[in-house]
Amino acid sequence: MPYASDSIVLHQIGKTFTTSRGHITALHNIDLSIGDGEFFSIVGPSGCGKTTLLRILAGLDTASTGTVDIKINSGDRPVNSMVFQEQSVFPWMMVIDNVAYGLKLRGIAKKERYEIAEKYIRMIGLSKFAKAYPHQLSGGMKQRVSVARAFANDPEILLMDEPFGALDEQNRIILQQELLRIWELSKKTTVFITHSIDEALCLSDRIMIMTAHPGTLKSIVNVDLPRPRDIAAIRTTMRYNELFQIIWLTLREEVLKVKQLELDAY
Ligand SMILES: Nc1ncnc2c1ncn2[C@@H]1O[C@H](COP(=O)(O)OP(=O)(O)OP(=O)(O)O)[C@@H](O)[C@H]1O
């Protein structure tokens, strides 16, 4: 898919952890470019290095080899915002203050940061709960607050590590649809980790499939499903099913390798 420019360029990324039991190579020689405004998902078997890669993009960890380049469009914005699987809201803050937190850190005046926060709270359907505290919200609602906060921060890139993994299916579908809607409006470069081929297909422009440990780039699939997307409708299309098969057959080889390694270890 054509993009005006690259937002993220990874060159020969490798990561080796040193532990008391020796060295663990988590990532090996990953070359990758992600376009400005692209929704890019990563799937791969358990332990293949997805989170490690995202942590390197977030600056929470450093690569052992290679380089990471992230295009900075404006010096006033944070480079990234991350949404984790676990709800990472502050329990002592009202919803509106949780969503506005990053803006406060950047010194944005209260009136303006509340206006921005209210806009995103409206988008995720929580206006009535703007002054509620997290203990008054369900798990799905708290995760919505995390998503709203990430967008309100207006980062250069959005990083999401299985953000809906802990939710029940109904809440997950609703949040996926809301994420699609907000992303369509902002066209923010997004890197999204998921274990779900379905989720990756519904949301992404491209999907990267990683090999089993050590993680390398196995292949990248273009998701040529039309946008804007309705998640329920897209799943009924023939192209969705074709893409699902392609990804599953590629991924299955890697999942089986992990299973074999587990059996060999016994
Ligand atoms: N801080 C660390 N110290 C040592 N080894 C680590 C560390 N973090 C990750 N690893 C190892 O690196 C490899 C990749 O881990 P990572 O969590 O990135 O995989 P993942 O694909 O996100 O896994 P999952 O799908 O199960 O969440 C694993 O073998 C893991 O044990």
Q: Is the CB of 28 under 6 A from ligand 1?
A: no
Are residues 181 and 245 located together in one domain of the fold? yes
Domain boundary among 112, 129, 155: 155
Instruction: For residue 83, tell me if it sits in a domain.
Output: no
Are residues 164 and 193 located together in one domain of the fold? yes
Are residues 112 and 223 located together in one domain of the fold? no
Say how far apart CA 103 and CA 115 lie, in whole Å: 11
Which CATH number do you get for residue 166? 3.40.50.300
Looking at residue 122, its pLDDT comes to: 92
Instruction: For residue 80, tell me if it sits in a domain.
Output: no
The domain in which residue 146 lies consists of 91-155
Are residues 184 and 251 located together in one domain of the fold? yes
Are residues 257 and 176 located together in one domain of the fold? yes
Instruction: For residue 82, tell me if it sits in a domain.
Output: no
Instruction: For residue 86, tell me if it sits in a domain.
Output: no
Instruction: For residue 18, tell me if it sits in a domain.
Output: yes
Are residues 174 and 255 located together in one domain of the fold? yes
Q: Is the CB of 89 under 6 A from ligand 1?
A: no
Q: Is the CB of 49 under 6 A from ligand 1?
A: yes
pLDDT digits (tens, 9 = 90+) for 83-95: 988 768 999 999 9
Q: Is the CB of 26 under 6 A from ligand 1?
A: yes
Looking at residue 38, its pLDDT comes to: 97
Residue 128, both tokens:
């009535």
Looking at residue 1, its pLDDT comes to: 58
**ipTM value for the complex:** 0.98
Taking CA atoms only, the protein residue closest to ligand 1 atom 8 is 52
Domain boundary among 123, 155, 187: 155
Are residues 183 and 67 located together in one domain of the fold? yes
| Segments in the chain below pLDDT 70 | 1-2, 87
Taking CA atoms only, the protein residue closest to ligand 1 atom 6 is 17
Q: Is the CB of 134 under 6 A from ligand 1?
A: no
Q: How far is CA 194 from CA 24, 112, 208, 229, in A?
A: 23, 34, 11, 18
Instruction: For residue 84, tell me if it sits in a domain.
Output: no
Q: How far is CA 182 from CA 10, 147, 225, 228, in A?
A: 26, 10, 18, 11
Instruction: For residue 203, tell me if it sits in a domain.
Output: yes
Look at the chain and report how many structural domains it folds into: 2
Looking at residue 263, its pLDDT comes to: 82
Taking CA atoms only, the protein residue closest to ligand 1 atom 7 is 17
Domain boundary among 125, 155, 185: 155
Instruction: For residue 78, tell me if it sits in a domain.
Output: no
